[in-house]
Amino acid sequence: MNTAKANETVRNIRALIGKNEIAEALTALVEYFTSLKDKAKLNDVIALQARLYGLQQAVARGTVSEAEAGIQRGQICNSVLILLDGIAPDEAEPEPSKPVRKGKLLHNIPEEMCLGEVIECRVRIATSEKLLRKNFAGAGHVETIPLERIGDHMEVDLVASESDAFVIKRQNRHARQFVDPDVHTEWVFDVIPMKTGPQKLYLKVDIIMREKGKKSYRDEVISVPVEVNTTEPAGGATKWKEAANIQAKATKNFLA
């Protein structure tokens, strides 16, 4: 399968995960790995389908709590995202920075998240407010953060203050990206809350530097705390019963 098709597959499955359509995402993965005749990966996906179906049945019967179901759903989503990492083709890492200038940072990390759901969080760096906010949904509640230094190449990472509070997967192949002064540069993270209550994330921003005759190195520009409150899923039983029916049909069709 060519690079364009692989990238399209990854985008489509990420979109399904972002809408919490996990069963549909797994079905798409089955079709993808079947087309490649990749039996090992196909078996991994079928195992995830069975795990999801079992979880949905347990929720429908009331033998597992919504909180525990949310955590297990998050774990399944993380497994899907790991499989997607193997689909997207590798890319070369950018070179270190040369000129240094001032810039701004903006993110759309929501203040409220739901346990086990996949939240797509975007972080932008640009030279102006206008470039940052252009077509940036979900960032209206966030103030821009000034950066004293940005270069041709920057790294952005998103980490949790407690390692068990979130599963965080970066969509970009590399943390290091080229920063064009005429447009915004964006990093995208899939964030899965795994622990309820007030939580804290940190946006860590580094500039990649290289002194003459020396190797490149990263230097911290800023570390920004972001407060998040994670709640348990509300009214999930009906949704799980509907999802169980969808998954049952998908599994039946696959085995037929």
Spell out the domain ranges in the chain: 3-91+235-255, 100-231
CB atoms near residue 7 (< 10 Å): 13
Is CATH 2.60.40.10 the right assignment for the domain spanning 100-231? yes
Residue 33 burial by CB count (10 A; 0-12/13-18/19+): exposed, middle or buried? buried
> Lowest mean pLDDT: which of 62-76, 111-125, 185-199, 234-248?
234-248
Distance CA 181, CA 101 (A): 10
Give the list of residues 6+ apart from residue 246 with CB closer than 8 angstroms, or none. 23, 24
More confident residue, 248 or 215: 215
The whole-chain average pLDDT of the chain stands at: 86
More confident residue, 29 or 5: 29
> Lowest mean pLDDT: which of 135-144, 156-165, 237-246?
237-246
Confidence of residue 86 (pLDDT cuts 50, 70, 90): confident
3-state secondary structure 84-108: HHHHCCCCCCCCCCCCEEEEEEEEC
Distance CA 156, CA 187 (A): 7
Answer whether residue 20 shows pLDDT above 90: no
Give the list of residues 6+ apart from residue 16 with CB closer than 8 angstroms, or none. 22, 24, 25, 28
Of 33-47, 77-91, 192-206, highest mean pLDDT: 192-206
Answer whether residue 28 shows pLDDT above 50: yes
